[in-house]
Structure 1
């Protein structure tokens, strides 16, 4: 049995994993999927002060509270930044890092460095009436009308600070944690994917960015393979 900690990306909530969690549990694994501050049921906490550090603290708090060890830490999209900083803080508790169609940063980089198109979202937010809100930019590769309708019930605005705060990756112990990258082959415009370092596994899914919605069974199989 493995312990999977699934971290959703920008604009989403933990509900995006609803089709994956039962499949992992049916295979005998423990699964935790927190909703990060400012999204879903925590939308009332959203504000200009919510940033990457807030979300890193969310995940670290859950790991500490549940005394989790040997965690398979999965980050989707923006959450690639989150899981990187989490692993930097508690490498002894992380057994595997899974970057699910995710931003993969170096130390000191923010989302705008890893994914330059993010700067467009930052500019729009800073020049908007709120000064910090970034509305969802689309449906993340989901095309089925019923799935799109469900997806829209869980989307909320993204605080701009999340895209500006840098990742911490200065703990040498992080380099010993195995990594798997799961790439969705239907790539949206502006999405930049860096070359994966030698020795790190790459798996693929023939679908769009929100593969947990469009191909949950296939994603589950890859997560089990990675873990």
Structure 2
């Protein structure tokens, strides 16, 4: 039996993992869809004080208080930086890190630092004009596409996303990630690439960009799940199948393959 801890991206709560978690449990595994402070059913806890460290603590506490070991630890989009920070705190509890259409950030980098200047200005305006200066509501559909491909989402799935999305406390995007434990780097890692080709992953790795430093290490491999940026909605069964394969798979060296 494997314990899966699932961390969604911006604006999402544990609710987004329902079909995936159901499938994992049907196969006899434990699934823990995480709702981070201030999001989903924990929206009443949102405040200007919620930051990246708050969310990292959320996940570390879940792992420790549920006494989880050998965890398959998945982060989607923004959730990837949360997973990276939490794995830095409790690497001995983790068997594998899974990055779903995202990649880990290095020490000292904040999510907002990765945005091009125009995109960052747009987000900051949204925070000021629509978010009382400290939270970022989900952008309108015509703007959301600039932050993640909507491919594979039908009108019903988009309606679900917008009906349950909660504003993201912006401190989670502006606080830099702090990493101190090299044991995290030795954990096996899987990148599930959804919204761009595997060849582009190879190009990013070879570009020398410090944001992608280390993705060519032997602890890494990549697989493709072609769809948009939200596969928990567009291809939940296929996503669950990839995760289920990990429960019986031994860690392997770095490689790129298509699913």
Fold-level match, TM-score > 0.5?
yes
Give the structure 1 partner of residue 244 of structure 2.
224
The answer as to whether partners of 2:74 and 2:99 remain within 8 angstroms in 1 is yes
Relative distance call for 1:208 and 1:42 in structure 2 (3 A) is same
What SS does the corresponding residue of 1:202 show, helix, strand or coil? Answer: strand
Deviations 1:22-63 (A, max 9, x none): 111112211111211111111111121111111011111111
| Greater CA drift, 68-77 or 115-124 | 115-124
**1:158 aligned onto 2:168:** yes
Distance in structure 2 (CA, Å) of the matches to 1:180 and 1:32: 19
1:150 Cα deviation after fit: 1.5
How far apart are the structure 2 equivalents of 1:47 and 1:128?
17
- Alignment correspondent of 2:19: 19
Match of 1:179 in 2: 189
**Secondary structure of 1:153's match?**
helix
1:6-155 equivalent positions in 2, closer than 5 A: 6-116=6-116, 119-125=120-126, 127-128=128-129, 130-137=132-139, 138=141, 141=150, 143-155=153-165
1:158-208 Cα distance to aligned partner (Å, 9 max, x none): 111111111122211111111000011359xxxxx9533242111111110
Larger CA deviation: 132-141 vs 71-80: 132-141
CA distance in 1, matches of 2:242, 2:228: 16
- In the alignment, structure 2 segments of 5+ residues that lack a partner are 198-202, 206-214, 248-259
After superposing on structure 2, the runs of 4+ consecutive aligned residues of structure 1 that deviate more than 6 Å are none
Instruction: Look up the match of 1:170.
Output: 180
| Residue of structure 2 aligned with 1:210, choices 185, 209, 230 | 230
SS of residue matched to 1:25: helix
Cross-structure match for 1:190: none
**How far 1:153 moved relative to its partner?**
2.1
Give the aligned length: 222
- Tell me the TM-score normalised to structure 1 length: 0.90
> Which blocks of at least 5 consecutive residues in structure 1 are unaligned?
188-192
**Structure 1 CA distance, aligned partners of 2:27 and 2:112?**
37
Structure 2: how far apart are the matches of 1:164 and 1:215? 31
Change (3 A) 1:157 1:223: same
Question: Is the 8 Å Cα contact of residues 51 and 160 (structure 1) preserved in structure 2?
Answer: yes
